[in-house]
Amino acid sequence: MNNMFKFLIVSILSFSVLIAKDYSVDTSHSLVEFKLKHLSISNVKGTFSKFSGYLSVDNNKLTALNGEVEIDSINTNNENRDAHIKDPDYFDAKKFPKATLKLTNASSGEFEITIKGITKKVKLEVEVFGVSKNQAGKEVIGLNLSGKINRKDFDIAKGTPNAALGEEISISIDIEGMAK
């Protein structure tokens, strides 16, 4: 083989590695969770069990992400609290059944979060763990998004004093995506 042909082969292979790949969120291997202060002395933690989304990754960098959670799937390990959180003064799950997340600027980690019909820009840390193969031989990728939002920005328990319920909500989203 001549050098020009080798260069062409290597260039084609290198280019194919750099092309963005699309993934669907594998909900059985992903987790959407949050925590906030209660009475300034303890944390209340919760998860959403129903969510979906898709993402694109190019050269181990997140380039696109769209996701949503079903508010009715909230779980804080307390049925009475979960029912109350779905009420209008918190998430108003009947009127606003879903919250959404969308990557708007990959280089700065800027996302748009929409809760209760209110959209705000937030910065989230993005950590891409890498690519692997699952038991079926399909390509999967793992990543984590983490950051904080202010509950009052989304009209969540706006009248509740900060001493009873912290303003800051920490969010962590662990995603395993399956290549499309």
pLDDT digits (tens, 9 = 90+) for 32-85: 999 998 887 889 999 999 999 999 999 889 999 999 999 999 999 999 999 999
Distance, in Å, from the CA atom of 115 to the CA atom of 131, rounded to the nearest integer, reads 31
Distance, in Å, from the CA atom of 172 to the CA atom of 64, rounded to the nearest integer, reads 18
Confidence of residue 99 (pLDDT cuts 50, 70, 90): very high
- Look up residue 152 and give its two tokens: 């009052």
CATH architecture entry for 20-179: Beta Barrel (2.40)
pLDDT reported for residue 1: 54
How do 51-58 and 21-25 pair as beta strands? Answer: antiparallel
pLDDT reported for residue 164: 82
How do 110-115 and 98-105 pair as beta strands? Answer: antiparallel
**Which of the pair, 116 or 13, is modelled with greater confidence?**
116
- Residue 141: burial class (beta carbons within 10 Å; 0-12, 13-18, 19+): buried
Confidence of residue 8 (pLDDT cuts 50, 70, 90): very low
